[in-house]
Amino acid sequence: MNNKLKWTYRFTDTFLYPIAYYVVRYRRTVVRKNLVSSFPELSQDEIVHLEKQFYHHFSDIVAEVLFASHASKNELAECIEFIGLDDVEKKAALHGGVIYMLGHLGNWELTADVQHRYLSPNLQHYNVYRKLNNYRFNQFMQQIRERMSGEGSSIEKQSLLRKMIQLKHLNQPHTIGLISDQKPRPEVTRFWCDFLHQDTGWLDGGDVLARKFGYPVFYVHMSQLKRGHYVAHPQLITDDPTNTPDNYITEQFVQRLESNIRENPSLWLWSHNRWKWGRSGKVQEAGTLNS
């Protein structure tokens, strides 16, 4: 592990984790509710243990993002490894583009560094983001992402369709990274299914765009070999989206994400109030914290 990163983790262990978990108690009610609902088979002690593991990992994510803001390309290469990019490059060359579907798993921000791992210099990667309410923090995150993927590589969600049409007309091979496990508002949610024992609504943007442009879709499986070393493995969902059943791509994403989460639950973003709304649109109570 890089010495700079070792010092970064010492900071998280000594200050960031205890402050977030014990002092500020950052979204602990939401985290506890999500864990209890998702893993009803676990005892309270097991839930608390998993909860603490998550907060350790969450603190690491914050530290790793700060590290990425000044790390060299070689240092970033030590943090995240990509498997199976040859297949992605072949599909992108053949179809003109590829869509990655990711969850808030591992350290999703580091996947922006995929741009520097492609063998083809003509293949451009773009990250799709939802604008944050805090202007300064939004700008800070955009600077980090573009530092990893290159200037102009971050596309605001509302501008994505226009950008993809432009790239298609320019015959510019590209890959698009979509974080697809956010919480959609119930009035615009078109796909619901069981996920982690809960009725869950899903964004279907990856599904819609894949069908519109005929782009292959990959689920990015995330794992952690050790602290400070993630592995991102794009796994093909389909290379013929126009001939798949309705909601097939979204459903496949959900199934693969749940399986991925169960491999190491602490790596998912449990502090996100993912089940805030039910199908009725009513806000669901977060419950109470018993510790």
pLDDT in tens, 30-66: 999 999 999 999 999 999 999 999 999 999 999 998 8
Instruction: Please report where in the chains the tokens 């199976």 appear, as a residue.
Output: 84
- Lowest-confidence region among 77-86, 111-120, 148-157: 148-157
Number of H helices, E strands in the chain: 10, 9
Q: Which residues pair with 236 in a beta bridge?
A: 218
Q: Where are the beta strands (DSSP E) in 11-153?
A: 80-82, 97-102, 124-129
Task: State what percent of residues in the chain have pLDDT above 70.
Answer: 96
Q: Which of 115, 123, 128 is nearest to 94 (CA)?
A: 123
pLDDT in tens, 238-282: 999 999 999 999 999 999 999 999 999 999 999 999 999 888 777
For range 176-200, the mean pLDDT: 93
Amino acid at 111: T
Query: Domain coordinates of the chain in residue numbers?
Result: 80-265
With 60 as the cut, is the pLDDT of residue 105 above it? yes
pLDDT of amino acid 287: 47
With 80 as the cut, is the pLDDT of residue 2 above it? no
pLDDT of amino acid 153: 83
pLDDT of amino acid 188: 85
Q: What is the mean pLDDT of the chain?
A: 91
